Amino acid sequence: MSGRSRILVVGSGGVGDAVARIAARRPFFEHLVVAGHDVARAERTVAAVRERHPGEERFVAAHVDARSAGAVEALARAHGATHVLNAVDPRFVIPVFEGALAAGSDYLDMAMSLSSPHPERPHELPGVKLGDAQFARAGAWEDAGRLALVGMGVEPGLSDVLARYAVDHLFSAVDEVGVRDGADLQVLGDDGEPLFAPSFSIWTTIEECLNPPVVWERGTGWRTLAPFAEPEVFDFPGGIGPVECVHVEHEEVLLVPRWLPARKVTFKYGLGAEFIGVLRTLHALGLDSTAPLRVGDVQVAPRDVVAAALPDPAGLGPRMTGTTCAGVLVTGTGTDGRPREVYLHHLVDNAWSMAEYGAQCVVWQTAVNPVVALELLTTGVWSGAGVLGPEAFDAVPFLDLLSADDGYGSPWALEERTPSTAG
């Protein structure tokens, strides 16, 4: 699709807010709707954009019930949306995905449809995998001539783009694509002491960290492990340094093998001992459950209570310090025939993202990638139909636009590492 796009952003939380702030600097679209259940929140985002960009009239706020495909379809049709960007929790992926298809819009998301563990052997075999419900509908999207670009945030998203770049330009054979995510972020309370305050949706964090993590290996396919399996200390760049990382369930492991040749694909997250301890406690107490319990006269899901009790990630920026790093460690045989190990990564400092955009670094880093993708789709540089991951597209235009001073001004980097003799 080429020409100027009309975008419906479903979700007015931290990421949806950052999407609007980032998009406001770009000319590729003519209309952007920030929609959510809480209209006042969407209106605050639009007001913040107009305050930073006087005279900006392309943004409007709207109400939408993300649980209803019909509501998403109706809103997309009302605004003539060429693209629907899903910026809500992954439990709402399917209604937004189906609503976009019914409206004749292209679709992007940053997290895929939810998994469910294998009923008998959850730590050995996958049950329903992340994205299975979406890939099952690929034929309908192809028949409609519409594109559903799934997993187009930072992880998944930018990590997948970096993997595609490595396969195309740096390696003749790939042993492992290993996504490694870490940070040195701190959130400080009024007394200056660190708080437990996750920088991203706790609902999503619980889902991906307490579900059985998935690993892919050539010859055996996908298999699962116990949560927090195989800890390793990974040395992150940008002054972050060594962080203990563990396996968690993540979309890259389900996406990369569909398009890219690799012997193994993994995802490990630098959670830290305190965070892992909190998640284990939530699980032990049943507070990670999404099944409603009766409390007095109301039914409430324990995980929703946990999310409501924690600070809103969108508002943490002024209290946050540090840098977040997303990246892919790729090992194998370089184009010169020699062993090679490269960490391709993207760093965002919170002080920078707050000063430039008024958005904390984790939500900014997540939000910038679908906006870059939307620009490439609008200008026709990227195109396709069906249900596709970021790996299905040429990485170079994306990475160039993300990095360029006249683009998004946020460069990625490549760090050569000494090839390991293990494995």
pLDDT at 423 over 60: no
Contact by Cβ (8 Å): 281, 266:
no
Q: Average the pLDDT over 268-279 and give the result.
A: 85
Look up the pTM and report it.
Answer: 0.93
How many Cβ atoms are within 10 Å of 310's Cβ, its own excluded?
Answer: 16
Residue 2, pLDDT score = 46
C-alpha dihedral sign at 204, 207, 210, 211: negative
pLDDT per position as a tens digit, 366-375: 999 999 999 9
Instruction: Report which of 6, 25, 153, 2 is spatially closest to residue 89, judged by C-alpha positions.
Output: 153
pLDDT at 3 over 70: no
pLDDT per position as a tens digit, 355-369: 999 999 999 999 999
pLDDT at 152 over 70: yes
Residue 421, pLDDT score = 53
Residue 322, pLDDT score = 94
Q: Average the pLDDT over 152-156 and give the result.
A: 97
Q: How confident is the model at residue 200 (pLDDT cuts 50, 70, 90)?
A: low
* pLDDT, greater one: 137 or 284: 137
The structural domains of the chain, ordered by start, are 5-153+362-403 (3.40.50.720), 158-361+410-417 (3.30.360.10)
Q: Average the pLDDT over 316-322 and give the result.
A: 84
Separation CA 123–CA 186 (nearest Å): 32
Q: How confident is the model at residue 1 (pLDDT cuts 50, 70, 90)?
A: very low
Q: How confident is the model at residue 138 (pLDDT cuts 50, 70, 90)?
A: very high
Residue 86, pLDDT score = 98
How many Cβ atoms are within 10 Å of 308's Cβ, its own excluded?
Answer: 10
Output the six-digit token pair for 365: 């880093």
Contact by Cβ (8 Å): 323, 351:
no
How far out from the chain centre does Cα 25 lie?
21
Residue 20, pLDDT score = 98
Contact by Cβ (8 Å): 240, 327:
no
How far out from the chain centre does Cα 127 lie?
22
How far out from the chain centre does Cα 89 lie?
11
pLDDT at 312 over 90: no
Q: What's the mean pLDDT when you consider all of the chain?
A: 93
Contact by Cβ (8 Å): 144, 243:
no
Contact by Cβ (8 Å): 150, 131:
yes
